[in-house]
Amino acid sequence: MIELNDVWKTYPNGVMAMNGMSIYIQSGEFVYVVGPSGAGKSTFIKMIYREERPTRGEILVGGENLAHMKERHVPYLRRNIGVVFQDFKLLPSMNVFENIAFAMEVVEASKPEIRRRVMDVLDIVRLKNKARFQPHELSGGEQQRVSIARAIVNNPDVLICDEPTGNLDPETSWEIMHLLEEINDRGTTIIMATHNREIVNNMRKRVIAIENGRISRDEVRGRYGYES
């Protein structure tokens, strides 16, 4: 499903962020990506949704090599990969419904289809009653649920989460994790970069540790590690 073969990344300023990384992630997996700051976690994640391109090596997502993907195919890839960020990245001038609908408008879904599907995902994240609220009228946890709804609205195979609980209190973080687990149980592959030791140690999923742009550890029911 997602495969990296000997991937290298040197940024234009000369920083070598990825040094020969190879990994295989199967459809339906839940994978935590851990490691110290600057290790290359974000670079790894950005490569998968093609925000960054590798300097060398092969990145296959659903059988397609992203390194060779034509620019005009990128929107189709993005439809198949949802992304959730630490700071939510909701559009402040749009209400909840519009923020989610926008992700379907860019792939030219029909109005009735958008209406039906947005209400479906609002139901999944339990925010049907707040469809007309503006982002600033919501709590952090609610804003993150909206961003998850937006990320799954086009039925992606893969959901990428970059520190999704980084701005949330522990209780709200667990709410978000249970929602992500539900989404994973429905078959969506989840790749989540995190510094949240408690969550990783309690959920016991696959853990990939990255250090110096390489995989330093890959465990089936892993722990956070880096005991401090």
Binding site for ligand ADP (CB under 6 A): 11, 13, 15, 17, 35, 37-43, 124, 152, 155, 182-183, 186-188
Please, which residue, 137 or 226, has the CB nearer to ligand ADP? Answer: 226
Please, which residue, 17 or 191, has the CB nearer to ligand ADP? Answer: 17
- In angstroms, give the least distance from the CB of 93 to ligand ADP: 27
Please, which residue, 74 or 124, has the CB nearer to ligand ADP? Answer: 124
- In angstroms, give the least distance from the CB of 188 to ligand ADP: 4
- Output phi, psi for 10, to 5 deg: -115, 125
Q: Give CA separation, 147 vs 9, 140, 161, in Å.
A: 29, 11, 10
- In angstroms, give the least distance from the CB of 136 to ligand ADP: 26
- In angstroms, give the least distance from the CB of 91 to ligand ADP: 21
Buried b (16+ CB within 10 A) or exposed e, 172-208: bbbbbbebbeebbeeebbbbbbbbbeebbeebebbbb
- In angstroms, give the least distance from the CB of 175 to ligand ADP: 14
Please, which residue, 67 or 134, has the CB nearer to ligand ADP? Answer: 67
- C-alpha 194/C-alpha 170 separation (Å) is 13
Please check whether residue 205 is in contact with residue 221, taking contact to mean a CB–CB distance below 8 angstroms: yes
- C-alpha 87/C-alpha 89 separation (Å) is 6
- In angstroms, give the least distance from the CB of 44 to ligand ADP: 7
Q: Give CA separation, 95 vs 101, 135, 147, 219, in Å.
A: 10, 6, 12, 41
Please, which residue, 60 or 124, has the CB nearer to ligand ADP? Answer: 124
- Output phi, psi for 117, to 5 deg: -70, -40
Please, which residue, 124 or 134, has the CB nearer to ligand ADP? Answer: 124
Please, which residue, 9 or 130, has the CB nearer to ligand ADP? Answer: 9
In 71-196, beta strands by DSSP E: 81-85, 158-162, 189-193
Residue with the two structure tokens 């892993």: 222
- In angstroms, give the least distance from the CB of 46 to ligand ADP: 7
- C-alpha 67/C-alpha 52 separation (Å) is 10
